[in-house]
Chains A and B, each alone.
Chain A
Amino acid sequence: MKPISQMTQLELAAYVHDHLRQQGIDVVLSGGSVVSLYSQNLYVSKDIDLVNVAFTRQAKLRKAMASIGFAERERYFRHSDSKHIVEFPSGPLAVGEEPVRDVQEVTLETGSLRVLSATDCVKDRLCAFYFWDDLQGLEQAVLVAQQHAVDLAEIERWSMVENHVEKFIQFKERLE
């Protein structure tokens, strides 16, 4: 097994994910690190957000993470050999008002990893743009949609549910 100090962000996420799965803890990668996956690392985030989809108690997470050398500080987990920070946002796994149904599984050298689909990753990034006018979120959504096939009709439908059609049009114009 590759040493933790040499693992990329996604490899570390897969390593943690597999370890937790063995402990019966169900997590799904969300947030900026999914953008890294779908943009061929054109965007790199330091944070690894593993959504705690089965509402595992913090004490159980803490114990499982400690067994592979991660220490918790204010709900963020760090390993002395890595610069990456692991967080477990609480479930449910959702993008805006809707639950995420389509979870993908990818395999890396260090383990397997359950992640949002590219389409849900775009929605997740657009949430930041829609709700907080976060332009970084828009840029990341554009990056994923340019690098990966996404379902634009589905993103438009979801944008209507979220009441942000005008911002969806801005996003779509960026892709043209």
Chain B
Amino acid sequence: MLEPLLGSTNAERALIFIQARGEGYAREIALFFETDLYGIQKQLDKLEVGGILVSRKVGRTRLYVFNPRYPFLAELQALLAKALTFYPETTRTDLTMNRRRPRRRGKPDEANLADDAA
């Protein structure tokens, strides 16, 4: 959707993902969009070099967020927020309705409980 403007489908995927979830790392973005990891990594790197994203290491993962110092951040996020409303509903739901609240380690996940009940 924004590919003609951004020059890259993977740049759009990376930005839309981070817009929807607030943060993201290369592998989860690539898995979400079922695309090549290297292509996403390359775009994340370019966006960081350009000052649009910043990253930090969390364990062995490099986590990316928007750079609050990027002077066009508010305008970029407004554009991404609008673009997101044009995505298919399933994609939007999957992007925004992922579980964010904590879940104690070892506790069975909800999908498994549903399977057990069936």
Contacts and interface: CB of A to CB of B under 8 A. Distances in A.
A69 interface: no
A176 interface: no
B69 A131 contact: yes
Interface string B46-69: 000111000000000000000011
Nearest to A128: B69
Contact of A127 (B49, B50, B51, B69): B69
Interface string A13-53: 00000000000000000000000000000000000000000
Contact of A97 (B49, B50, B51, B74): B74
Interface string B4-36: 000000000000000000000000000000000
Nearest to A100: B71
B23 to A, nearest CB: 14
B52 to A, nearest CB: 9
Nearest to B74: A97
A3 interface: no
Contact of A96 (B49, B50, B71): B71
A55 B71 CA distance: 15
B45 to A, nearest CB: 10
B69 A90 contact: no
Interface of B: 49-51, 68-69, 71, 73-74
B34 to A, nearest CB: 29
A94 B69 contact: yes
A94 B49 contact: no
Interface in A146-170: none
Interface string A91-114: 010101111000000000000000
A92 B71 contact: yes
18 contacts: A75-B49, A89-B51, A90-B49, A90-B51, A92-B71, A94-B69, A94-B71, A96-B68, A96-B69, A97-B71, A97-B73, A98-B71, A99-B71, A127-B68, A127-B69, A131-B68, A131-B69, A132-B68
Q: Interface of chain B, helix or strand or loop or mixed?
A: loop
Nearest to B73: A97
A1 to B, nearest CB: 32
B88 to A, nearest CB: 33
A98 B72 CA distance: 9
Contacts of A94: 69, 71
**5 residue pairs, one from A and one from B, having the closest CB atoms:** A131-B68, A94-B71, A90-B51, A127-B69, A90-B50
Nearest to A75: B49
Nearest to A130: B68
Contacts of B49: 75, 90
Interface in A121-145: 127, 130-132
A131 B73 CA distance: 13
A101 B8 CA distance: 32
